[in-house]
Amino acid sequence: MSDFWWEVIDPIQSVLDGMMFGSIYALIGIGFTLIFGVMHKINLAYAAASIGGAYASLAAFQVLDAPAIVVFLCAAAASGVIGYLVYICCFRFIPTAMPLATLMSSVGMLILIDEVVVHATAGMPEPYPAMFDDVMIDLEPFWIRGDLLMIFALSVIAMGILLYILYRTRLGIATRAVAQQPSAAQLCGIGQQNTNAVTFIITGALGGLAGAMVGASVGILSPLLALPLTVKGLIVTVIGGLGSIPGAIVAGLLVGGFENVFQYFRGVTERDIYVMLLLFVFLTFRPQGLFGRISSRD
């Protein structure tokens, strides 16, 4: 093989690793985008709720010593419950016409969830179980980390289930109806509040899985993970186009790969600057995002 080939192997390897990790960003981005699609509101507590769910599932790991896959499912379930609580506390009773109030209440919830976690764990990072973390798949000349591959596979499965729910069930029809035209949906007998609540539970479960996979791939869980995950998830949402699920998926993989390759070239302290630059490039040249429609709605 030529020298040039050896030069590019490592960057390509880091793009691949980053894209697999990026599937987590995609899940978080889908959550933001779905809630935005249905309510036209931004739920800033979402990533914190995901990490919170992962923490709750630690109980299953530490007390019951359950296998990793059960722990992941517990995280999804716990996060669904937290998602419902967030909806009740921050969105249910605040008038729809006040976007600032719900923005602020979800920030309050973000701080609250973070602090509950810090309080419960005394601020110490906790080890989190992973699957296949000792497996290395050798695809000459690349390596694929088993745990990252597992994360990628689980994300794909979760996205598949979500798309099935959205496009093949009555629940999904109701959700999409409310997203398109809330008052018309209500006239057809679809309860808006119920649909909103269900959306929060479903996205919560998705987020919980994402939180668990962050824990699994990093090896530890820390409350410090919530804010960076929020920022990355929001960036993914905007790059993918607001309200677009395929957009969030593509943007998640894009941001993941992009971030990892810049980490390879420029180091961990500088890599996020380039992600922000990517966002600004999109905002300047394609403000509606990859798959978003141009609309005046905000």
Partner 1 sequence: MDFYYGMAQLIGVHTLLGLSAYVVLLTGQVSMAQAGFFAIGAYLGGMLTVLAGWHIVPAMLLAAAASAVVATIVGFPALRVKGLMLVVATLAFGEAVRIFWFNFDYQIAKGNIQVGPLGGEGFKQIRYFPENGWSTGEVAIFIWVWVVIVMAAIWWMDRSRVGSVLRAVGEDELAAQSVGINLTAVKVSAMTIGGFIAGLGGGIYAHYTTHIEHLNFGVILATFAIAYPILGGLSSVIGVLIAVIFIQGFLVEVLRFMGDWRNLLFGALIVLAMNVRPDGLFDARATRTIRRLFGRQDA
Return the SS3 of 143. strand
CB closer to partner 1, 5 vs 285: 285
* Cβ contact 239:251 at 8 Å: yes
**What is the contact mask toward partner 1 in residues 137 to 176, using x (rule: CB under 8 A)?**
----------------------------------------
The reply on whether position 298 binds partner 1 by CB under 8 A is yes
Report which DSSP code applies to 126.
E
- 266-295 residues in contact with partner 1 (CB under 8 A) are 269-270, 272-273, 275-277, 279-280, 283-284, 287
Q: Which of 51, 74, 109, 131 binds partner 1 (CB under 8 A)?
A: 109
CB closer to partner 1, 135 vs 276: 276
The reply on whether position 124 binds partner 1 by CB under 8 A is no
The 8 Å CB, 24+ separation contacts for 194-200 are 195/38, 196/38, 196/39, 196/87, 196/91, 196/92, 197/84, 197/87, 197/88, 197/92, 198/171, 199/34, 199/35, 199/38, 199/39, 199/175, 200/35, 200/43, 200/83, 200/84, 200/86, 200/87, 200/91
The reply on whether position 81 binds partner 1 by CB under 8 A is no
Count of C-beta atoms within a 10 Å radius of residue 269 = 8
Give the closest residue to 151 by CA, choosing from 56, 16, 11, 290. 16
CB closer to partner 1, 53 vs 233: 233
Return the SS3 of 241. coil
Residue indicated by tokens 């994402």: 210
CB closer to partner 1, 64 vs 281: 281
Q: Which of 179, 202, 234, 254 binds partner 1 (CB under 8 A)?
A: 234
The reply on whether position 59 binds partner 1 by CB under 8 A is no
- 11-40 residues in contact with partner 1 (CB under 8 A) are 36
Count of C-beta atoms within a 10 Å radius of residue 162 = 20
Q: How far is the CB of 24 from partner 1 (least distance, A)?
A: 18
The reply on whether position 103 binds partner 1 by CB under 8 A is yes
The reply on whether position 218 binds partner 1 by CB under 8 A is no
CB closer to partner 1, 132 vs 264: 264
Q: What are the backbone dihedrals phi and psi of residue 102, each rounded to the nearest 5 degrees, phi first?
A: -70, -35
The reply on whether position 111 binds partner 1 by CB under 8 A is yes
Q: Which of 81, 227, 246, 264 binds partner 1 (CB under 8 A)?
A: 227
243 conformational bin, left if phi > 0, alpha if psi -120 to 50, beta if neither: left
Q: What are the backbone dihedrals phi and psi of residue 145, each rounded to the nearest 5 degrees, phi first?
A: -70, 130
CB closer to partner 1, 16 vs 33: 33
Residue indicated by tokens 């960076």: 228
Q: How far is the CB of 44 from partner 1 (least distance, A)?
A: 8
For CA atoms 249, 54, 160, 242, give the dihedral sign. negative
The reply on whether position 64 binds partner 1 by CB under 8 A is no
Q: How far is the CB of 108 from partner 1 (least distance, A)?
A: 3
According to DSSP, the residues that pair with 126 across neighbouring strands are 221
By CB under 8 A, name the binding residues for partner 1.
36, 42, 89-90, 93-95, 98-105, 107-116, 118-119, 227, 230-231, 234-235, 237-238, 242, 269-270, 272-273, 275-277, 279-280, 283-284, 287, 298
